[in-house]
Amino acid sequence: MAVTVRKVLGATAVLAVAGAIAGPMAMAQSRPPRVPPGEVAIPDVGKTSTVTRTGLLRGLGPSPFAGARATLVMVSHGARSAVRLKVTGVGRAAAGRTYGAHLHTGPCVAGDGAAAGPHYNTDVLDGRKPPRVDRTREVWLDFTVTSSGSGTARTVVPFAPNPGDRSIVIHEHATDHHGVAGARLACLPVSWR
Ligand SMILES: [Cu+2]
């Protein structure tokens, strides 16, 4: 048995998850004959779910992200997720700069950065005290803006975020080792059930 996942933003995210089970080449060789072009076959071990959200970023303060768009693709397979973020249409002033970006627990509300709540952190959700803060317990998606006004980031985390009305928040600085990245500039709403 195999399940198929529609190719959304390139197969990178899907392959990253499936890669834990079989290398991409092995997968290609074991591809069932009825998998249509543009889809990827992965072994049916554990549950796979894909969340894809795309849209205009919502402003949380003055920033070069006014009018910018973002796409998030999150592929969870068992207790492992590959997450990819692509941002386009960023103002020229941002070229060459790196911005922090994370999955936050709360919703993305224009003009209300606090509404997004804290980072999604598995230690916090598990009640561990003190919670550890790093890229294996949170979804960190820092990106650097190119001269054409786009940026991409990807990460693989050892958990599948719980559904909810959540957001990807873009911050003014790159994320430091404490998970701090400065003011909240813009967000992408990411709700799933
Ligand atoms: Cu954040």
CATH of the domain at 95: 2.60.40.200
In terms of domains, do 34 and 53 share one? no
In the predicted structure, residue 24 carries a pLDDT above the cut 60: no
Going by pLDDT thresholds of 50, 70 and 90, the confidence category of residue 90 is very high
User: How does pLDDT run across 10-22, given as a tens digit for each residue?
Assistant: 444 444 444 443 3
The predicted structure's pLDDT at residue 38:
74
Question: Looking at the structure, do residues 83 and 154 belong to the same domain, yes or no?
Answer: yes
Which residues have their alpha-adjacent CB atom under 5 A from ion ligand 1? 102, 169
What is the distance in A from the centroid of ligand 1 to the CA of 176?
11
Whether residues 123 and 184 fall in one domain:
yes
What is the residue range of 20's domain? Answer: 2-43
Same domain, 39 and 73: no
pTM: 0.78
**Same domain as 154, residue 106:** yes
Same domain, 75 and 141: yes
CA of 112 to the centre of ligand 1 (A): 14
pLDDT at residue number 2: 42
Say if residues 27 and 41 touch (Cβ distance below 8 Å).
yes
Per-residue pLDDT at 42: 57
How many domains does the structure of the chain reveal?
2
